[in-house]
Structure 1
Amino acid sequence: MEDILRPIYQERASSPSTLGILLIEKGAKPSTLTDTFDYVLLVITKDANQPVFIKHYTYKDKKAALHIVEEEQLQEWLLLGTNRKIIEWIYNGKVLFDRNEYLSELKQELREFPFYGRKIKMGMEFAKLIRRYVDGKAFFENGHFLDAYNHIVHSLHHLARLEIIEQGFFPEVTVWNQVKHIEPQIFKLYEELITSDETLEKRLELLFLASEFLIFSRTDSGTQHFRDVLETKKEKWTIHDLINEEELKYYSIDLGVLLEYLIEKKLVTVVKEETKGHEVFHRYYKVNKE
């Protein structure tokens, strides 16, 4: 099949904007890696008319997919973790074309996982974790146990990803297989939640207690990037300032709940300033250095 696909990828390789081409094959065992396709061609380009372009091909009983991805889109996926398959494609794909060792350096970067990139990703995962945990606890306290269960499963997933990132790895699609070896304690919590014979209410009650400790123990590392931005760029911040700060844009809708969590844990202080209204104050935020 690679011979059949050669004219397709050779045409892309001849373009000066193409940085690298990878071939990903479906394995013998069932896998989600190629989305049921037998082959995936991943073309990374410097300039494109659109961030992502996909085309499908058929040859006899085989099917192939061509994915042309702009480098800027690729970097965004790697930062935000919104397309985890792409990491496995880069790890496992066969290099068909590599301009100026672009793919070799990208693979090396994924293996080394620069610390600054880790700090941002940890902050984003921690913010998502807090959002799910807080919402899940609210559902639990109101007796909505199935909704609480859904949120606690997601919060454990973010906790697992946070731990994997902190250890210097990119989270893969099979994140629970990863965390089982990296941090068995988190894996055990997840296993107990889904396999325990206790009632759902009791399982959730125990999970919220255990999760609270695990979350708190990772608060310092998980919020380091967020607190560094607050501390180094301005003395105090309004919520409008925070929302519009370029380095914090990836926290998105989770920023507010993260901020309130840090206030509760006394890592961020609220500064009040008078307004023209009687006993109404402007609310500013600053990192607590004590």
Structure 2
Amino acid sequence: MEDILRPIYQERASQANTLGVLMIEKKQKEMTVTDTFDSVMLIVVHEAKQPVFVKHYTYLGKKAALHIVTESQLKKWILLGNNKKIFEWIYNGRVLFDRNEFVDQLKMELKEFPIAQRKQKMGLEFAKLIRRYMDGKAFFENKHYLDAYNDIVHSLHHLARLAVIENGFHPEVTVWSQVKQIEPEIYKLYVELVNSEETIEKRLELLFLASEFLIHSRTEKSIQHITDVLLQKEHWSFNELMENEELSIYSVDFGMLFEYLIEKNKVEVVNIETKSPSIFHRYYKVPEKNKQNS
């Protein structure tokens, strides 16, 4: 198989722009990892006009996919966690070419999971968790129980991923298998929500009570990345925060997260006078009592 596909990746491996080449082969029980293709060739390049370029091939009655990805796009996927199969590809892909040990160092970095990256990923998962949790709560209060159920399942998934990251691991495709070992309490909540014979209203009611504590106990550690940025200035306007390169990764979840943090006294509102009477500019800072813990 590799002999047949070699000409496809060999030409690119000889180019100075290419950092690494990996081959991922389909496993019968994990067909979705390769999007059902028999083989996937992942080529990481330093830079390219397109961050992602994909080409499909047919050979001997089988199908193969070529993915050419820039280094910056790959690292973005790793940070945002929005391409889960990329972890499987890097962990288990067969290395066919590795310029200056790029792939080897990448694998080592994923394994060690540096504190700075961990803080960012925890912040991202926490923001998504709060968005889903708050939306679910609003649906529940308005008696839209199926919509609430959908959001709460997603919020539990983000809580599970958060717990995995907190313990120093990258969440994998089979995140619930990880959580069952690492945080059985969260796993149990999920199982009870899905399998309970109680009414959907009762299930949600009990889950909101249990989730409140689990979320509250993780807030301080989960927002450390945001707190570190806030401490760089005395106070910030919301637009300044949105334009900050470090915080831009939070995207549409940032507004909801910030209001939640204000409500929980993790962020303080600073009102500054405008030219109009009774109207104030709204700025934000870390409360004095929280600065000592940062």
What TM-score results when the alignment is normalised by the length of structure 1?
0.97
> 2:203 aligns to what SS in structure 1?
helix
In the TM superposition, residue 11 of structure 1 has moved relative to its aligned partner by 1.0
User: Superposed, which structure 2 residues align to 1:73-222 within 5 Å?
Assistant: 73-222=73-222
Give, as a single letter, the amino acid of the residue that structure 1 aligns with 2:40: V
Describe the superposition over 1:14-47 as per-residue Cα deviations: whole angstroms up to 9, x where unpaired.
Answer: 1111111000011132431101011100001112
CA distance in 2, matches of 1:104, 1:206: 46
CA distance in 1, matches of 2:40, 2:214: 39
Describe the superposition over 1:99-119 as per-residue Cα deviations: whole angstroms up to 9, x where unpaired.
Answer: 111111111111001110110
Give, as a single letter, the amino acid of the residue that structure 2 aligns with 1:286: K
Superposed CA RMSD = 1.0
Alignment of 1:274 onto 2:270: no
Give, as a single letter, the amino acid of the residue that structure 2 aligns with 1:270: V
The aligned residue for residue 287 of structure 1 is 286
> 2:95 aligns to what SS in structure 1?
strand
Q: Which runs of 5+ in 1 are unaligned?
A: none
CA distance in 1, matches of 2:201, 2:87: 37
Give, as a single letter, the amino acid of the residue that structure 2 aligns with 1:162: L
In the TM superposition, residue 75 of structure 1 has moved relative to its aligned partner by 1.0
User: Superposed, which structure 2 residues align to 1:28-67 within 5 Å?
Assistant: 28-67=28-67
Q: After TM superposition, what 4+ stretches of structure 1 lie above 4 angstroms from structure 2?
A: none
Count of residue pairs brought into register by the alignment: 289
> 1:68 aligns to what SS in structure 2?
strand
In the TM superposition, residue 95 of structure 1 has moved relative to its aligned partner by 0.6
Give, as a single letter, the amino acid of the residue that structure 1 aligns with 2:32: T
> 1:108 aligns to what SS in structure 2?
helix
The aligned residue for residue 264 of structure 1 is 263
**More moved, 166-175 vs 198-207:** 166-175
CA distance in 2, matches of 1:282, 1:236: 12
Alignment of 1:251 onto 2:250: yes
Give, as a single letter, the amino acid of the residue that structure 1 aligns with 2:256: V
The aligned residue for residue 237 of structure 2 is 238
CA distance in 2, matches of 1:49, 1:260: 39
Describe the superposition over 1:143-190 as per-residue Cα deviations: whole angstroms up to 9, x where unpaired.
Answer: 000110111011011111111111111111111111111111111111
Q: Conserved in 1, the CA contact under 8 Å of 2:31 and 2:37?
A: no
Give, as a single letter, the amino acid of the residue that structure 2 aligns with 1:143: K
Give, as a single letter, the amino acid of the residue that structure 2 aligns with 1:176: W
Q: Which runs of 5+ in 2 are unaligned?
A: 290-294
C-alpha distance 47-133 of structure 1, shift in aligned 2 (>3 A): same
In the TM superposition, residue 252 of structure 1 has moved relative to its aligned partner by 0.9
CA distance in 2, matches of 1:277, 1:287: 27
C-alpha distance 272-17 of structure 1, shift in aligned 2 (>3 A): same
In the TM superposition, residue 61 of structure 1 has moved relative to its aligned partner by 2.1
> 2:69 aligns to what SS in structure 1?
strand
